[in-house]
Amino acid sequence: MDKHITILDGAQGTLLWQKAEERGIPKAPVWTYNLTHPEIVAEVCREYAEAGSEIICSNTFGANRLTVGKESDYSVREVVAAAIRTAKETLEGTGVRVALDIGPLSVMTEPYGDLEEDETEEIFDEVVQAGTEAGADCIFLETFMQLEMLLAAARAAAKTDLPVFCSMSFEKNGRTLFGVSVEEMLEELEPMEPAAVGMNCSLGPDLALPVIRDFAGKTDLPLFFKPNAGMPVVDADGKAAYTITPEEFSEQAAPALETGKIRYLGGCCGTDPAFIRKLKELADRG
């Protein structure tokens, strides 16, 4: 098995809002910037590439018909195509791949909500088709907590020839908020042969360590590890602030690499290009 660790990117939404604020651009759903201010989307892509990211997510995490249709006059196809186009043009010639980034829907599917299985898959189909036609190199399904929803997204993604990465967001007890265990996730996904499985968001690398070790002990699939920058602290203005440094993040992530199965490594909430640079140094040390 190839032992190379592919470096992913870090958070995007917070960076985009920060760049928008610095330029006096009104705060809006970040996926709208693909069409209104592609220059800041390109800047984020460029900064992550310079930090060492080998796969960078498109700015499409929440871009589906339930949100795009409700919060804008754009179509899903317009938003997704613009995101992929901006990323591909920015990264042209670098060898960095662009992942169509897909997150969970804003409503629950059956049996927890009213959204039916067929409609759920249809919503994801629309995003997948738009991203595939625009030239995405692979598909990331991340931050899912409900297994039924992840499986609907995975079925939609499997209709393409692209590598599909599946990640869920786990709590300290080793289960998602909907009670999904690592074993249950793997039981459903392994027959679909994803490019990698794993976890992102929710926890910092220290608290996520038992969960990723659980993955390593239960599957031979390549693992995907993209933890948060620790736990946020809410400041006086009610904003979540992350206090962990890039160096501390890298040090806390290091033991996870001892499993020998992590092939995709990055950061989620609270991370930025400085964190990715440290992860690249960690991976290069072997």
Q: What is the DSSP secondary-structure string of 236-262?
A: TTS-EE----HHHHHHHHHHHHTTS-E
**pLDDT for the residue 2:** 59
Given pLDDT bands bounded at 50, 70 and 90, which one contains residue 252?
very high
90-97 mean pLDDT: 98
User: SS3 for 62?
Assistant: coil
Range 6-284 has CATH code 3.20.20.330: yes
Find where tokens 């400085």 sit.
Answer: 274
- Nearest Cα residue to 200 out of 133, 270, 153, 247: 270
260-283 mean pLDDT: 97
Residue 132 CA to residue 134 CA, distance in Å, equals 5
What are the structure tokens assigned to 187, written together? 């039981």
Q: Is the pLDDT of residue 42 over 60?
A: yes
Domain parsing of the chain, residue ranges: 6-284
Q: Is the pLDDT of residue 167 over 90?
A: yes
Residue 180 CA to residue 104 CA, distance in Å, equals 15
Residues 100-148 have pLDDT tens digits of 999 999 999 988 888 999 999 999 999 999 999 999 999 999 999 999 9
Residue 95 CA to residue 84 CA, distance in Å, equals 15
- 105 Cβ contact partners less than 8 Å away, ≥ 6 residues apart: 64, 66, 115, 120, 123, 149
The whole model's pTM is what? 0.96
Residues 194-243 have pLDDT tens digits of 999 999 999 999 999 999 999 999 999 999 999 999 888 887 777 778 88
Residue 161 CA to residue 163 CA, distance in Å, equals 7
